Structure 1
Amino acid sequence: MEKKEENITVAVRIRPLNERELKSTAEIAWEKKNNNIVKEIKGTREFPFDRVYDPSTHTSQLFNDLASQVINKCMEGYNGCIFCYGQTGSGKTFTMHGAKKSPGIVPQAIEAIFSHIQQAVQKEFLIRCSYIEIYNESINDLLNTNSLNLQLAEDRRNGIKIVGVTEEVCTSPNQVQSLLLLGETHKNIASTSFNQRSSRAHSIFRVIVESKNSFGKIDLSVAALNLIDLAGSESANVHTSTASTTRTREMKYINRVGFI
């Protein structure tokens, strides 16, 4: 029987202890048993995944193993989606956006897209980017603070779309990075018991890739790459008491929101 190729891959990344946890003599609860199984250190529970990564794994390896094929397919005209799910402080934003010395999946994806464009001499590309957040079931444009509570509409040709969302044409990785930095300044964040800057909304950086043949028959394709940084999913009681009402309302929507 021919082996079926899966289009969905699920991986787990075990993060190292942070400074606060080290000072409190906390211990890591899970370990990598092999490339596909994560195991409880002081228990018997274990769970299978497509891939398992230990605390020493660099984000670049995750990108090569998991994200690069999504990027390649998107450049060929297929929609793709990459996201991280987990509790506040579990390392979602670090994995997606990274740090100065350790770039995350998003900046690596941007570099890969433009590297692909430079090498594809037989095709012409147009790259458009948008950045939104879903906060308390409201879709807000992170590239335009005046565009709040945007509405969804269904287009027979292009499917579901966000009416009025800002889409910027980008011609270089630096231009895309500037949009990311602009959007980051507009995100809803709060301090929690886990970290000082916790995302209180789901954010979606969307790259629309249009391509056509440079020679011969015109073959036009349009694909969307959705790079999603989910807000932390946890009980409202982990937040500061002075903001309990706000945090409770946020958590209610974070834990039930759907995606575009």
Structure 2
Amino acid sequence: MTVTAGALTDGLRALGVGQGQNLLVHASLSEIGPVRGGAAAVVAALRGLLGPEGTLVAPTGTADNSDTSPLHLRAITGMSEAEIAAFRAAMPAFDPATTPSTGMGKIAECVRTSPGAVRSSHPQTSFAALGPLADKLMNDHAFDCHLGEFSPLARLYEVGGVILLLGVGYDRCTAFHLAEYRYTEKPPTRTYRCVVDFGDGPKWWQYEDVVLDDRDMALLGADFEKTGTVRHGRVGKARARLFPMAAAVDFAMGWFARHRKPSKISS
């Protein structure tokens, strides 16, 4: 059965999406089912409920801009050393205005390409936003800070952001990664590499940042749900969850402190 615009709006409203929220959405269009109007209809339903005072945010990351990510490693599987070197030499630099996201889904791409969208500048973990706080939330995303204090996640935390998981699990919840920066004074770090253009042409650039590890986040999410903070519902065929970002990040900080040993986390 096709999911109509009205059904989308009704399901999201019943879940608690509403006027004036600053909403970070992680979503799978295919999980919702066949939607009349596709991803654009979902984005329109969300923006309609948020109203003129609300801001919609979506992750628009480019994990393939890397020499160690699973996406990149799959791309070079079977290549010779010379072919890998040529492939990496030809990789384009990240451009916030034009580079498509990878693995973020059609709804996130619709946010990114919508008129008026503002995208943050990180070459691997960018976000895009629509609404009155778009500039404030997206500006000053430091190149050497994926999802920490100098990222849109920290700005969303400050303005009382709300998180919507629409047809996806807690392993896709980027807010939990903000807690990885905060749960200990010295979180484990590693070296990252990506292709950037600082005005002098594409080049490989490396930097140090916190290890991002989502292997235990399904367990973290299951424990977070026991707090009673999460609202549950259905949007089309998709399971949907809505919860305050601050509650999720603060819970995750305590959870990581109890369950993780920083020195033992693999990079």
Please state which band the TM-score falls in when normalised by the shorter chain. Answer: under 0.3
Find the structure with the greater CA-based Rg: 1
The structure in which a higher percent of residues are helix is: 2
The structure in which a higher percent of residues are strand is: 1
- RCO (CA 8 Å, sep 6+): is it higher in 1 or 2? 2
Q: Scaled by the length of structure 1, what TM-score is found?
A: 0.25
